[in-house]
Structure 1
């Protein structure tokens, strides 16, 4: 079965490397997956939501045929900004913002030092991001995390593609880092649940691929 393109967009502090276990599972189920690296996680404090959104637009423009976009965590913001042309969206523990909002505002203000340009990896990364990932794999993943531009949590969005594009929201049942306010937004959108932590693409890639494929 040819399910079409599946564009994978990583969250804050991550990179396209985080999908390495999920990609072969998706290919085995008939998807044509691809992944991009967001500028805001490249170590540049100058890149924010709109630079990331442009990277999403460019990746979408390079794909022929039907496209589903999977956004993880922070990626929900640039995907919401840029992916109005997609056929379907998947919000995996991903932030949903309305036009005029930004993350820090929704959370009641920044949780980091005022004026910070780059944000260090959340600690303890193992417990927050990868608690149910095997030790060796979790250590590898934690070693790949990089500082994140703070701008992404302060930039105001002007679009919400998930309002117009069919969207599958997914909530991870034991997610230790995803803000409850955003989990509630996913549930209000009819979220399905997946066992485990914030990083099912590492802890249970086959189950995640099954869920993605069963829903579309």
Structure 2
């Protein structure tokens, strides 16, 4: 069975994996989730967060090789970490996540999508170094197919998302190229358009791409299904 490290996306924290961790554990895996800097219980001010500090946090959590599952924005720092220390990555699974493109920051990569459903919900901080999600719009964008109790749980815990990590590109080379990778597309995603998830993985081997019929938060909408799919990926 696998050692699995779970990486959250923008404005979230380790808390978003609460329903997945025990299910993956029941399947025999050893599972951990971390708070990236300024998220969850991490006290770092958002104004001090960088993409490098995100990648460092991931590497600091990898005291032995593991399967890393990265959600949404987490795809960028996870990719950077894999480039820096490929031997610590047994596999990198992108969960409806942004896959870096040469020379493009995450913000620039996002703008390649044919639609921008997240932008209406973005509320910038006064210093322009972070943003939060409008609580009136976040449920329909992040959690449209999640149970009401779960939506309330999540809205209470959303944090400010630093802008610096999304403003710089990730450069990859031979190190990243040798890391086994898989992608899980969420085909009802209200944050990252499903058609853009298809575009980002259009040249991937067919057996490395999987689909779930859910929105942007499968860890809440279908934690059992997500856990089973991760387990299946790791057995093949």
- Give the TM-score taking structure 2 as reference length: 0.82
Report the Cα distance in structure 2 between the residues aligned to 1:57 and 1:158, rounded to whole angstroms: 17
Corresponding residue of 1:55: 57
1:95-134 to structure 2, matched below 5 A, reads: 95-108=98-111, 116-122=128-134, 124-134=137-147
Corresponding residue of 2:182: 168
Corresponding residue of 1:27: 25
State the shift of 1:158 in Å: 2.3
Report the Cα distance in structure 2 between the residues aligned to 1:119 and 1:171, rounded to whole angstroms: 25
CA-to-aligned-CA distance 1:153-212 (integer Å, 9 cap, x gap): 102212366532111101001001014544421343242100111101111111001101
Q: Do the aligned partners of 1:45 and 1:148 also contact (CA within 8 Å) in 2?
A: no
Q: Do the aligned partners of 2:5 and 2:33 also contact (CA within 8 Å) in 1?
A: yes
Report the Cα distance in structure 2 between the residues aligned to 1:99 and 1:115, rounded to whole angstroms: 29
Distance 1:184 1:43, change over 3 A: farther
Question: What 5-or-longer segments of structure 1 have no aligned partner?
Answer: none
State the shift of 1:105 in Å: 2.2
After superposition, the CA RMSD in angstroms is 2.3
CA-to-aligned-CA distance 1:69-92 (integer Å, 9 cap, x gap): 000000010000002220111100
Q: Do the aligned partners of 2:185 and 2:197 also contact (CA within 8 Å) in 1?
A: no
State the shift of 1:146 in Å: 0.6
Runs of 4+ in 1 over 4 A off after TM superposition: 108-115
Match of 2:163 among 122, 142, 150: 150
Task: Give yes or no for the alignment of 1:194 onto 2:194.
Answer: no
Report the Cα distance in structure 2 between the residues aligned to 1:74 and 1:6, rounded to whole angstroms: 18
Report the Cα distance in structure 1 between the residues aligned to 2:176 and 2:74, rounded to whole angstroms: 12
Corresponding residue of 2:14: 16
Corresponding residue of 2:232: 214
Report the Cα distance in structure 1 between the residues aligned to 2:211 and 2:176, rounded to whole angstroms: 18
Distance 1:138 1:131, change over 3 A: same
Question: What 5-or-longer segments of structure 2 have no aligned partner?
Answer: none
Task: Give yes or no for the alignment of 1:80 onto 2:79.
Answer: yes
Corresponding residue of 2:153: 140
Corresponding residue of 2:70: 71
Q: Do the aligned partners of 1:170 and 1:192 also contact (CA within 8 Å) in 2?
A: yes
